[in-house]
Amino acid sequence: MLRIAHLIDDTNPGGVTRYLDFIARDPDMAELAEHRIVPVPRNRPTAVPVEADIVVSHLTISWRGLPGLMLLRARHSGQPLIHVEHSYSAGFAAANVTAPGRFRRLLRCAYALFDRVVAVSQAQAGWLAQRELVAAGALTVIPPCVDLSVFRAMKAPSGPVRSIGAIGRFDRQKGFDLLIRAFRALPDPDLRLRLIGDGPERVVLEALADEDPRIHFTGFTADPAAELSRCDAIAMPSRWEPYGLVAQEARAARRPVLCSAVDGLGDAGRGLSPVADGSISAWISALVHLTGADHALLPATDGLPAELHTLAGWHGLLAQLAPNTAGARPADVAVRSA
Amino acid sequence: MPKASVIVPAYNVAATLGETLRALLDQTYGDFEIVVVDDGSSDRTAAIARGFGDPRIRLVQQPNRGLAGARNSGIHAARGDFIGFCDADDLWRPTKLADHVAHLEAHPHVGLSFSGSELIDEAGHPTGLAQRPRLRGITPAHIFRRNPVGNGSAPVLRRAALEAIAFRPAGEERRDWWFDERFRQSEDIECWLRLALSTDWEIEGIPGLLTRYRVASGGLSAGVERQYASWEAMVAKLTPLAPEFIARHAPAARAYQHRYLARRAISAGDRPQALARLAACFAASPRPLLEEPVKTLSTLAAGLVLATCGPRAIDRLRGLAARRPAPRRPA
């Protein structure tokens, strides 16, 4: 059986950790290969000895981490090395990078060490390719996934949208400041905004909410599904979002998702409702539309369960890199039902 | 499919459109189309465009939507991978399109390529003045403060960069917006700054004064208040995109904006407006004085001459120095 080691340097609760839980636990992923999750110290991925046929990096690329990646390449010179890019995207670069030339050099140097670079969304892949950050032929798109069973089991909301949820770390990235400003412009006293999470921006967000009785701060929760079940719709006003797992969960729970049109949130086929532009007025009119609309007006998804995209992506990649040892054939993957 | 499209928004420009189109047809670059957007003109604008009978010229007609709306309809109709803009009274130097396309093709991270401009008067004669902006290493802060793109006939954009800022506001059924049509002024800077803040496409210039930008002599100061209001509306609109950025750079950008409007008021001989703008400039931030002391102090001096000796003294000074007409839009 093919042995894959997935290296991770950030074990905080978040999208990457939950994706790796899926990889490690999903029975169909187990058909493809034996997956082992290996936490490694930041910038020293070779500090933990790894026995594997393929090594997958879920690490965050940085100048400081580059020597570690070179050592990793040297240590595994005989095995395919894959990098999954969870962090960087066009939206990230727009919002954070002050020296764009230096940033592109870093990514080119780092990606050149890998046999394949996996983008988590079509939009991110388009960016990596257009900016010539990844060599042609080395780029693959595999959208991440989490265990969606609990979300699918959730009762679909009915009636008009009254309770809007926003889930995530209270960080500039998530754009909850914009959401609160827009929400406060809605006159309807029966609407609720539930901000689910915690983080460095909490004080700023509370000040913006200004004790509007319709806005609730629920605090951090280890069980996002329970919180999601209390919401009729989800808002994701993110300033950047390479993929956006919350959107996937909300769609599995049949909640409409109002989102900014950045990065992976703009990918077609996800059934999301991108807001025209990042302005307050656009968000206000989108919220007015959402709270006045029936749930039946949701945009359609491509109809396939999210797991299938992830499984098919890994199957295709592994078949290229280790044609003789890869597990399930495409037919086996395709018969999987939601 | 042409490789490049040049969009010419045209509203009652029968007097200048022919010269603009001739300059565009003279481009050395071989594979391009010209999209003339007749924005509800009541003069012979459309007839002039048609009269060329050149297959490279396409005419789009619409009821008046304003400059942003005309440019948007042009983008919607354009088929090229590279999209340039030339207002219907400005002129492009023959190599402009070729130079910008080469620049964009060689630099895949650049989304907007621009160049400096030579200022010409109503008769098309050089005024001796030019816009020579910073060309490289341009950050969003540069765009916000000094708008190096300069004028609406300077940039050529990559279509992919325009697509990254496309949006469709509620109520718009027909096509996307790229420029925000709610702005009747400051629509350029709003678009460039939104591109800089919400995408990682870079804005970079190439050497040469490749645009000949026409400025009206005389100049009216009646629009100064309104222009400042639209600039502040632009700041308010973009603040949620990058609140920290705006908070950090707005004072200096505001000071530069006041200085620019003070210069316009001085040109128009509007004493109270000029003094009010100068005071507002120095109150907003010392940066224009520190970063561009000559231009800031000469503006101050001209304002004081206007205040003490009146508009005739300014006219005489202007005649001595160079012919210095008032630009039509923020430089």
Contact (CB<8Å) B237/A181: no
Residues of chain A with pLDDT under 70: 293-302, 325-338
Residues from chain A contacting residue B240 (CB–CB below 8 Å) = 175, 177-178, 181, 278-280
Cα gap A52→A33, rounded to integer Å: 11
The helix (H) or strand (E) run that includes residue A236 is strand A233-236
Are A147 and A22 spatial neighbours (Cβ–Cβ below 8 Å)?
A: yes
> What pairing do the DSSP bridges indicate for beta strands B110-120 and B202-214?
parallel
CB atoms under 10 Å from CB of A125, counted, come to: 22
Specify the pLDDT at position A69.
97
Range list of H helices, A162-244: 176-184, 202-209, 224-228
Specify the pLDDT at position A63.
97
Chain A CB within 8 Å of residue B136 CB: no
Residue B141: closest CA among chain A residues belongs to which residue? A98
Which of B163, B168, B200 best tests the A interface by mutation, with the highest count of A CBs <10 A? B200
Which of A258, A279, A285 best tests the B interface by mutation, with the highest count of B CBs <10 A? A279
- Chain A: nearest CA to B165, how far in angstroms? 8
The string of pLDDT tens digits covering residues B8-24 is 999 999 999 999 999 99
Query: Which one-letter DSSP state was computed for residue A45?
Result: G
The string of pLDDT tens digits covering residues A13-64 is 778 999 999 999 999 999 999 999 999 999 999 999 999 999 999 999 999 9
Q: Quick one: which of B164, B182, B271, B268 has its CA closest to B222?
A: B268
Cα gap A119→A264, rounded to integer Å: 10
Specify the pLDDT at position A338.
39
Query: Which one-letter DSSP state was computed for residue A301?
Result: B
Are B208 and B92 spatial neighbours (Cβ–Cβ below 8 Å)?
A: no
Specify the pLDDT at position A331.
44
Nearest CB to B108 within list A98, A130, A172: A130
Nearest CB to B199 within list A90, A175, A281: A90
Specify the pLDDT at position A91.
94
The helix (H) or strand (E) run that includes residue A195 is strand A192-196
Cα gap B311→B305, rounded to integer Å: 8
Burial B20-46 (b: 16+ CB within 10 A, else e): bbebbeebebeebbbbbbbbbbeebbb
Considering Cα of B149, then B151, then B153, then B159, what sign does the dihedral take?
positive
Contact (CB<8Å) B108/A282: no
Are B331 and B131 spatial neighbours (Cβ–Cβ below 8 Å)?
A: yes
Cα gap B148→B153, rounded to integer Å: 12
Residues from chain B contacting residue A286 (CB–CB below 8 Å) = 170
Specify the pLDDT at position B29.
97
Distance from first CA to last CA of chain B, Å, rounded? 34
**Backbone φ, ψ for residue A274 (5° rounding):** -70, 140
> What are the residue ranges spanned by the domains of chain B?
4-214, 225-321
CATH number of B4-214: 3.90.550.10
Which of B198, B235, B246 best tests the A interface by mutation, with the highest count of A CBs <10 A? B198
Sheet holding A81-84, edge to edge: A34-39, A3-8, A54-57, A81-84, A116-119, A139-141
The string of pLDDT tens digits covering residues A274-314 is 997 888 999 999 999 999 866 545 666 667 888 999 999 99
ipTM of the shown complex: 0.82
Going from the N-terminus, what domains does chain A have, and what CATH number goes with each? 3-147+306-334 (3.40.50.2000), 149-297 (3.40.50.2000)
Residues from chain A contacting residue B242 (CB–CB below 8 Å) = 95, 239
Contact (CB<8Å) B170/A279: no
What are the average pLDDT values for consecutive 10-residue runs of chain B, which has 331 residues? 97 95 96 97 96 96 96 97 96 98 96 96 90 94 95 96 92 92 93 94 97 77 84 95 94 96 88 91 94 92 86 72 51 43
Residues from chain B contacting residue A93 (CB–CB below 8 Å) = 200
DSSP H helix total and E strand total for chain B: 13, 9
Provide the whole-model pTM: 0.88
Are B82 and B157 spatial neighbours (Cβ–Cβ below 8 Å)?
A: yes
Are A171 and A198 spatial neighbours (Cβ–Cβ below 8 Å)?
A: no
Are A195 and A205 spatial neighbours (Cβ–Cβ below 8 Å)?
A: yes
Q: For chain B, how long is the longest CA-to-CA vector?
A: 60
The helix (H) or strand (E) run that includes residue B290 is helix B287-291
CA contacts within 13 A on the Cβ side of A259: 33
> What pairing do the DSSP bridges indicate for beta strands B110-120 and B126-131?
antiparallel
Share of chain A above pLDDT 90, in %: 79
Q: Counting Cβ atoms within 10 Å, is residue A282 exposed (0-12), middle (13-18) or buried (19+)?
A: buried
How far are the Cα atoms of B57, B264, B328 from residue B331, in angstroms, in the given order?
Answer: 29, 11, 9
Are A214 and A179 spatial neighbours (Cβ–Cβ below 8 Å)?
A: no
Specify the pLDDT at position B217.
63
Nearest CB to B169 within list A95, A276, A280: A276
